[in-house]
Amino acid sequence: MNERSVSRRRAIALAGVGVAGIAGAAAVGGALARGAARDEGGSAVEGAIAFTGAHQAGIVTPAQDRLHFVAFDVITKDRERLVRMLKDWTAAAARMTAGRDAGEIGAVNGMPEAPPDDTGEALGLPPSGLTLTVGFGPTLFRDAGGRDRFGIAAKRPAALADLPHFPGDVLDAALSGGDLCVQACANDPQVAVHAVRNLARIGMGVVSVRWSQLGFGRTSSTSRTQATPRNLFGFKDGTANLKAEEADLIEEHVWARPGDGPEWMTGGSYLVTRKIRMIIETWDRSPLSEQEAIVGRHKGTGAPLGKADEFEEPDVPSLPETSHVRLVHPDSNNGARMLRRGYNYVDGSDGLGRLDAGLFFMAYQRDPRKQFVPVQLNMSRRDDMNEYLKPVSLGLFACPPGVSGPDDYWGKTLFA
Amino acid sequence: MNERSVSRRRAIALAGVGVAGIAGAAAVGGALARGAARDEGGSAVEGAIAFTGAHQAGIVTPAQDRLHFVAFDVITKDRERLVRMLKDWTAAAARMTAGRDAGEIGAVNGMPEAPPDDTGEALGLPPSGLTLTVGFGPTLFRDAGGRDRFGIAAKRPAALADLPHFPGDVLDAALSGGDLCVQACANDPQVAVHAVRNLARIGMGVVSVRWSQLGFGRTSSTSRTQATPRNLFGFKDGTANLKAEEADLIEEHVWARPGDGPEWMTGGSYLVTRKIRMIIETWDRSPLSEQEAIVGRHKGTGAPLGKADEFEEPDVPSLPETSHVRLVHPDSNNGARMLRRGYNYVDGSDGLGRLDAGLFFMAYQRDPRKQFVPVQLNMSRRDDMNEYLKPVSLGLFACPPGVSGPDDYWGKTLFA
């Protein structure tokens, strides 16, 4: 079912799901609730994307314009504290994606001297299409020393195998990996930042921010309703991406199925993240003809080389052998496809007179061993674009299926 | 005159103003021009803010939602090259603020092997309210060794005096100062980033990026038409800011006047920038009552303490002596006021489990010696908020008056 379907916008009466310190339904509609609150009857809120469903929102949801992605280290050894935090996160996520605060701003439970249960910077802002998507990294199952940290090592999916080294990668370990991740996407960055910050606040003592990335412009379309955006090389990107409307392809390439691996991941998806710095100053000095040969598309129209329209099928054998479009095309990769969901980023400058800018690549898939890994190896070894790329961060996360309702929480299929 | 006035949206036929490598009017309206081009008769473009005028746009212009700010070092010793770049920048800025590309994407002047004169990532995007505002730092006039670099030392305004040290500042020199700055504001960050990147590209060999900052949410209103936004402390900020509609106050506090200093700055304004990291995790653990006492406002409504409505005048003597609102109020500063134009930022995380987030403060004024400096000294010494703030960057720039038309360029009053 399509994430945007109005029929999915059901009531999210999650308040009270084992939530300590998160205000319940009583706070809804109060003077401090941001935007129009979802009413008691569960009517839809303008601009809100349903939080519950068979799959997590934020995957096939048409890509919002802004990203705040965060990876956490779990700093507790206490499984119960971790599970309690996941329940608290779920309740807060249900509230925030519906355009509400994470918890009460004012006096909580008659304790006027308590810190507010919402940080406040999104008060008055609409839901802005916020989605929050959670994922579990390999290190949550077993740490670097091989210890089964939370009694879930046996449930680690084979598809969550450690990724190989890709030629050309210069990874910063502090910017890679993570035990947990949350992808916050919204059309207003303040709403995405607010959500991540409040989850970090709720997780105090249980998790610690490992790395975090803001993205300012989506680089892929995930729906036929969206125009194809441009990446920082100035080219249309994601023209041939999987689209939410392609239900059969989404089933085949995105969602883990029964029998694929452990049952708890059925309906989930595997996320690969990759921060790729682009050497844009060098790219900007290269001739247009060279840029187009490297990409395999025309810069202006976005059409495959030799074609006139963006959406024409490329004539793969006629493209330069080391062109990006040819190397990542399913025909060059045993039919492997992914749902890409990346964002442009600029992180200021690098102290050498250059902008520190590039692509924060994200791709969802059914099994990275058959999708991301072979495509990336093909690209790392041969793509002419590599001359202008410097991959600095890599992450892999198992994103569980969606939350079904008030008694469910992020990761219940794994922990319960 | 108001920057938004339709009557100001005149033709900007700047093409050919000493522009080497920037395509002229012939490229306008071509298949690659982004958005609707300004027509030959000079009719307004939807969503475009006029580039020409007595004052630079981007100062009293109602604050757009997104920022890309960049400070440059000038790396040439050649005054003529610097002036030529300022002319090229002016022409490109006029094009980009009108929703066009910085120059031709395709073959330029019959040279198919030349790099494109626009990087392409904003193709197809509307003008998005883009404004580009230039400023000159103290070091442009005289370098650290005291040398008159470009024959303009005698024209350095007294108001562009080096700023004093402010208690509590822990400035990173690499993130402070700069010979030139450009403030790019837009409602689409991709448009702001595109503009800065193309100016950097045009300036290759003349300037080098010193530091650069993205901001994702404005923290001040500069017009009565705008709702007051919230900063990352979750409080409404800039309620009492100068507003574009307050013409007399703007004249008194923002624009340099004849007799204030060197004639070339008449109609210009002085910009102070300040990157202030907020220790949000500590703030988030402090009680609501304490937060409100520190700020001097109620968190929910934004009203001054003891008042019900955001726009009520605070009863200054009744506020806590070390509250922020009291310390920065004109009554506490000999009537000094500034036009604040800051943005929230998140630069990822700090490696210690915390988000690297805060405020990129920008304030425009007639004379920093009488406005920013005394207010900041007052605040640095006494404001209880300092416990949660870590100022890491400081900049001061003289922003010249606006560009009047095709024969004018950024800095002509200084260099011609």
| Side-chain half-sphere CA neighbours of B149 within 13 A | 20
* B82 at A interface, C-beta within 8 A: no
Contact present, B389 and B168 (Cβ < 8 Å)? yes
**pLDDT tens for residues B71-107?**
999 999 999 999 999 999 999 999 999 999 998 776 5
Contact present, A414 and A400 (Cβ < 8 Å)? yes
Nearest to A176 by CA among A368, A376, A392: A392
For residue B359, give both structure tokens: 């405020």
pLDDT above 50 (res A333): yes
How much is the pLDDT for B410? 98
pLDDT above 90 (res B6): no
| Cα–Cα distance, A193 to A339 (Å, whole number) | 24
Over residues A172-191, mean pLDDT: 97
How much is the pLDDT for B113? 76
| Total length of chain A | 416
| Cα–Cα distance, B48 to B32 (Å, whole number) | 18
- Contact between B119 and A201 using a beta-carbon 8 Å cutoff: no
pLDDT band at A220 (very low <50, low <70, confident <90, very high): confident
pLDDT band at A389 (very low <50, low <70, confident <90, very high): very high
How much is the pLDDT for B110? 52
Report the residue of chain B nearest A351, measured CA to CA.
Answer: B210
| Cα–Cα distance, A342 to A357 (Å, whole number) | 13
| Cα–Cα distance, B174 to B171 (Å, whole number) | 9
* A216 at B interface, C-beta within 8 A: yes
- Contact between B121 and A287 using a beta-carbon 8 Å cutoff: no
How much is the pLDDT for B46? 82
Burial class (CB in 10 A: 0-12, 13-18, 19+), B377: middle
* A114 at B interface, C-beta within 8 A: yes
Size of interface A-B (CB pairs under 8 A): 208
From B113, B119, B280, residue closest to A197, measured CB to CB: B280
pLDDT, greater one: B240 or A285: A285
Over residues A234-238, mean pLDDT: 89
* A287 at B interface, C-beta within 8 A: yes
| Side-chain half-sphere CA neighbours of A48 within 13 A | 31
Contacts of A200 in chain B (CB under 8 A): 281, 355
| Cα–Cα distance, A178 to A186 (Å, whole number) | 22
pLDDT above 80 (res A39): no
| Cα–Cα distance, A370 to A359 (Å, whole number) | 23
Shortest Cα–Cα distance, A105 to chain B (Å): 7
| Cα–Cα distance, A244 to A59 (Å, whole number) | 9
Shortest Cα–Cα distance, A68 to chain B (Å): 9
At B340 the three-state DSSP class reads strand
Contacts of A105 in chain B (CB under 8 A): 234, 288, 299-300
Report the residue of chain A nearest B176, measured CA to CA.
Answer: A351
Over residues A211-220, mean pLDDT: 92
| Side-chain half-sphere CA neighbours of B277 within 13 A | 19
* B210 at A interface, C-beta within 8 A: yes
pLDDT above 80 (res A20): no
Contacts of A116 in chain B (CB under 8 A): 234, 284, 288, 291, 299
pLDDT above 50 (res B368): yes
- Contact between A189 and B216 using a beta-carbon 8 Å cutoff: yes
Q: What percent of chain A has pLDDT over 70?
A: 88
- Contact between A214 and B214 using a beta-carbon 8 Å cutoff: yes
How much is the pLDDT for A44? 66
Amino acid at B350: D
- Contact between B355 and A281 using a beta-carbon 8 Å cutoff: no
Over residues B138-160, mean pLDDT: 96
Nearest to B181 by CA among B49, B59, B300, B289: B59
**B270 strand-pairing partners:** B365, B398
Shortest Cα–Cα distance, A347 to chain B (Å): 7
Report the residue of chain B nearest A120, measured CA to CA.
Answer: B234
Angle ∠(A355,A357,A361) on CA atoms, nearest 5:
175
Over residues A209-220, mean pLDDT: 93
| Side-chain half-sphere CA neighbours of B160 within 13 A | 29
| Cα–Cα distance, A103 to A119 (Å, whole number) | 9
Picking from B284, B297, B343 by the largest number of A CB atoms within 10 A of its own CB, the best residue to mutate is: B284
- Chain centroid, CA A179 distance in Å: 15
How much is the pLDDT for B42? 55
Which of residues 328 through 347 in chain B touch A, CB cutoff 8 A?
A: 344, 346-347
Contact present, B18 and B84 (Cβ < 8 Å)? yes
| Helix, strand, coil percentages in chain B from 3-state DSSP, rounded to 5 | 25, 20, 55
Contact present, A295 and A83 (Cβ < 8 Å)? no
Burial class (CB in 10 A: 0-12, 13-18, 19+), A145: exposed
| Cα–Cα distance, B376 to B223 (Å, whole number) | 24
| Total length of chain B | 416
The least confident of B111-120, B239-248, B348-357 is: B111-120
DSSP states along A278-291: E-HHHHTTS-HHHH
* A34 at B interface, C-beta within 8 A: no
pLDDT, greater one: A40 or B135: B135
* B310 at A interface, C-beta within 8 A: no
How much is the pLDDT for B1? 34
For residue B407, give both structure tokens: 């024969």
* Strand stretches in A48-162, DSSP E: 66-74, 131-136
| Cα–Cα distance, A35 to A187 (Å, whole number) | 14
How much is the pLDDT for B260? 97
CA distances from A36 to A22, A43, A48, A184, B51 (A): 19, 11, 10, 20, 38
* B173 at A interface, C-beta within 8 A: no
For residue A348, give both structure tokens: 């200021």
**pLDDT tens for residues B17-73?**
333 333 332 232 222 333 333 433 456 678 899 999 999 999 999 999 999 999 999
pLDDT, greater one: A166 or A220: A166
How much is the pLDDT for A286? 94
How much is the pLDDT for B44? 66
How much is the pLDDT for B115? 87
Residue A202 parent element (H or E) = helix A189-202
Report the residue of chain A nearest B172, measured CA to CA.
Answer: A351
pTM (predicted TM-score): 0.89
| Phi, psi (rounded to 5 degrees) for A414 | -85, -40
pLDDT above 90 (res A214): yes
The residue ranges of every structural domain in chain A are 3-276+397-415
| Cα–Cα distance, B413 to B416 (Å, whole number) | 6
* B123 at A interface, C-beta within 8 A: yes
Over residues B346-350, mean pLDDT: 94
Report the mean per-residue pLDDT for chain B.
88
pLDDT above 70 (res A16): no
CA distances from A292 to A42, A302, A384, B113, B118 (A): 50, 10, 11, 12, 14
Over residues A121-134, mean pLDDT: 95
* Strand stretches in A343-409, DSSP E: 343-349, 355-365, 389-399
| Cα–Cα distance, B122 to A115 (Å, whole number) | 43
Burial class (CB in 10 A: 0-12, 13-18, 19+), A58: buried
Report the residue of chain A nearest B218, measured CA to CA.
Answer: A190
How much is the pLDDT for A24? 31
